[in-house]
Chains A and B, each alone.
Chain A
């Protein structure tokens, strides 16, 4: 089954304790992205990747790191989590990038990771 798999689904941690949220897709998609979703603010892009070893900042990259060593995986790393990073996180992928004149690559989302930092 074609899917984007995120783990864990729920995570409670303490301030400053490094954590990684994994994301994997089995559709051979070039583009992968991380979003956070907060009430009233919608989905905001954290980082995205156009292909292996190609990553770029989204709108809210501070406090996050990513890597794309393999095409299928795009982990999100919080080196020193803080309470303001408490949020619902989504990984998404698409066949091609989200740019260009006519974007015909729909985003496929993972099931989300609800992170609480105390």
Chain B
């Protein structure tokens, strides 16, 4: 089992719709969770962080965390073509020498079509 799992996609949504990106993780003790966005040919950039159960909103982005289910998601409201990118879920594990590691999922490719 991979430590951080994401559906590779592509997830195709029409402009203006809500895009829902999902991520599961295996280390139950993980405390910090992140979403990075990576445009094609570019480096990843942080867009959201979340540390406690529930929702965290920032503009059109909402991160959701459910530690009991080991599940973190990213919702993008009013999706725009400029949101088309690969979204990487990242988690700080706590077990197995995980201190100071940030484990990334393989990413979900999002395509927003006009």
A residues bordering B, Cβ < 8 Å? Answer: 31, 33, 35, 40-45, 48, 50, 56, 58-59, 90, 97-104, 106-107, 109-112
Which among A42, A43, A48, A56 has the greatest number of chain B C-beta atoms within 10 A?
A: A42
Cα–Cα, bound, A30→B27 (Å): 26
Q: Are B92 and A40 in contact (CB under 8 A)?
A: no
| B100 smallest CB distance to A (angstroms) | 4
Contacts of B49 in A (CB 8 A): 103-104, 106
Extra contacts, 16 of them, besides A103-B31, A112-B42 (Cβ < 8 A), are A31-B100, A35-B104, A43-B104, A45-B102, A90-B44, A98-B100, A98-B101, A99-B98, A99-B100, A101-B32, A102-B32, A103-B32, A107-B36, A107-B102, A109-B45, A111-B43
The SS class assigned to the A binding surface is: loop
In the complex, what residue of chain B is closest to A39 when comparing beta carbons?
B106
Closest 3 CB pairs of A and B: A42-B106, A109-B43, A103-B32
| A46 smallest CB distance to B (angstroms) | 11
**What class of interface size applies to chain B in its complex with A?**
20 to 34
In the complex, what residue of chain A is closest to B106 when comparing beta carbons?
A42
Contacts of B36 in A (CB 8 A): 107
Contacts of A97 in B (CB 8 A): 100
For A45, give its contact among B4, B42, B43, B101 (CB under 8 Å).
Answer: B101
Cα–Cα, bound, A104→B48 (Å): 11
Contacts of B100 in A (CB 8 A): 31, 48, 50, 56, 97-99
Q: Are A90 and B43 in contact (CB under 8 A)?
A: yes
B17 interface hit (Cβ, 8 Å): no
| B1 smallest CB distance to A (angstroms) | 15
Q: Are B43 and A102 in contact (CB under 8 A)?
A: no
| A22 smallest CB distance to B (angstroms) | 16
Supply 6 A–B pairs (Cβ within 8 Å), ascending by A: A43-B44, A43-B104, A59-B101, A97-B100, A102-B31, A107-B36
Q: Which of B72-114 contact A (CB under 8 A)?
A: 88, 92, 98-107
In the complex, what residue of chain B is closest to A6 when comparing beta carbons?
B43
Given contacts A42-B105, A56-B100, contact A106 B46 (CB under 8 A): yes
